[in-house]
Amino acid sequence: MTALVRYLLADVLRTQRWLPPLLLHVAVLGLLYSSDAGPPLPAYAGTCVLVYPVSVWLTVVVATAEDPVRRAVTVVTAGGWARAQAAVTALSVLGALGLALVAALAPVVTQSRPYPLGTVAQGFAALAVCALVGVGVGVLCCRPLVDQVGWSLLASAALVVLVLLFGRTPPVGNVLWSLSHQDGVTVALALSGALAALLVVGATWLGTVVGPRRG
């Protein structure tokens, strides 16, 4: 599996399509923390709103790095759709958690307000939840579930907006609400973290079921 993830990473880096989401991530973080961002937990809520769609975008980039012919070769080489789909999810999760880590540490080095270790840990956990939701949404919106890249982008954008419109509904809404109001953060993170993990696992499993039928 490690070799498969490394191969996929090399393919993703070669396409350079990872640059736009990464640059957007860095640019918006720079804007958010260019001045006083306010209390730490509400500030992290703002970066959660950023990390979620960027993680979706990055997952789409990973999942569509190979054209259909190369993906078919990778599936055969990997020994089946399950391993190939798991590699896509694993690399997407690593990339999304990397975005979450950068977003969690950015205010520590740019803000004059104190950011205690416990607060940073809560912020990273919230960001990680939103990042995992982004991976799950991205996997649902890409091959083999959605064949065309254009439709993948449209479906991803629609789900990003839809999730953000659900208010306090978990897994994203209640994390944003709890951070913004600095209330019930631990409970919200536990519930939403479990749901985010289930979303990622379920989306990956669905891809392994649909993949052979379309392959």
pLDDT for the residue 91: 95
Residue 150: pLDDT above 80? no
* Percentage of the residues of the chain whose pLDDT score is greater than 90: 57
Find where tokens 């509904």 sit.
169
Q: Is the pLDDT of residue 145 over 70?
A: yes
- What number of other Cβ atoms are within 10 A of residue 95's Cβ? 23
Both tokens assigned to 2: 């490690």
Rounded to the nearest integer, the mean pLDDT of the chain is 89
Note the pLDDT of residue 73: 79
Please check the confidence at residue 56 and state whether its pLDDT lies above 90.
yes
Residue 43 corresponds to which amino acid? A
Query: Where does residue 16 fall: left (phi above 0), alpha (psi -120 to 50 degrees), or beta otherwise?
Result: left
Whether residue 82 has pLDDT greater than 90: no
pLDDT grade, residue 146 (50/70/90)?
confident
Q: pLDDT value at position 211?
A: 67
159-180 mean pLDDT: 86
Q: DSSP characters for 63-114?
A: HTSS-HHHHHHHHHHHTSHHHHHHHHHHHHHHHHHHHHHHHHHHHHHH-SS-
pTM over 0.85: yes
